[in-house]
Chain A
Amino acid sequence: METNTKKQELELHIAELERSIAELKVQLRQLEESDQHQAIDNLEAYLATMENRWDTLKDFWPIVQNELRDMFVKMKGDKTE
């Protein structure tokens, strides 16, 4: 009898927790969608960055140069060892 009561309590508790989780998921989804709508409102800014593709490549190239330089330095270092 006591076991059955305990079981029922646990089942009720689980059902409550599941309800709470479901509500939290809904709230999370709503927050995410709100952020998404806000990001969409900034679409013009993204269009602007798209126009500057060549600037993007010019910014990227020094990073590639540094990594190539580091790679060659490391390879030389490995050889001398």
Chain B
Amino acid sequence: MEVIFLLIAISLILAGSFLFLFFRAMKGGQFDDNHTPAIRILFENEPKTKEKKEPSPTTKSK
């Protein structure tokens, strides 16, 4: 049963580090704006791809 002491230590460290990460995220402003990132993620990384692909869809096939 002594293993419980070890488990407690691990669980506390784990939970504590989550708390720390939450603090850091909060300080870093990750929760300041929770609308824009939802839109931002939908943007293509390379905006040019769309038009160039359309006329010749078979040129590049990996």
- Do the two chains bind? no
